[in-house]
Amino acid sequence: MKGNEKFNEFIKIARKLNGIGITPLLMGSVGLEVVTGRSWDAQDLDIHVPGDKRGWEVPAETSIHNWSEIEELMNSMGYALIDLHEHEFSKAGLSVEFGIIDTLPAFARVRMEDLEIHRKGEVTYYLLNQEQYLRVYEASSKDSYRADQNNHKDLEKIEYLKRELRSHSEEANS
């Protein structure tokens, strides 16, 4: 499944989430592809939804608000829960993982009130900007588990975002 197809699948899931009162945040490489217009070979969909800001300190089944509704929604779309701890679902080779939007301020210094709402048709969702993505990837690169899992792919994203932000800053100052 290509990046555009993954984004379209995110929109389908977001529409269902909107239907139960949730505005999701598109994270990960798919979101970064939307923001930068560049392919990052996204492997899965990372969607953040409201939950307990303590994140991993809380049992997986209670850390995400409305978890039972989200699980039911995903099942109705043909997804199967494959890892409760990671809040990961799978369908036809596509993995969809849910994270907790409320952990962003402590994890990456991204304030909730600074998240930008985007719309595609009637679907609403949040998307990080380049500076916020840089904060998230820099914070993630300090996480040894993530660094080991991603073979330091995040470092390429960090360097790219730094270059882009520097370029925009130089343009604004000239």
> HEC profile for 111-172?
CHHHCEEEEECCEEEEECCHHHHHHHHHHHHCCHHHHHHCCCHHHHHHHHHHHHHHHHHHHH
pLDDT of residue 78: 98
Instruction: Tell me the fold of 3-129.
Output: Beta Polymerase; domain 2 (3.30.460)
Averaged over successive runs of 10 residues, the pLDDT of the chain (174 residues) comes to: 84 98 97 94 95 90 95 98 96 96 95 96 97 94 60 82 85 70
E strand or H helix that includes residue 94: strand 94-100
What local confidence, expressed as pLDDT, does residue 166 receive? 86
Cα–Cα dist 29/38, whole Å:
10
- The side-by-side arrangement of strands in the sheet containing 25-27 is 80-83, 88-91, 94-100, 44-49, 25-27, 123-127, 116-120
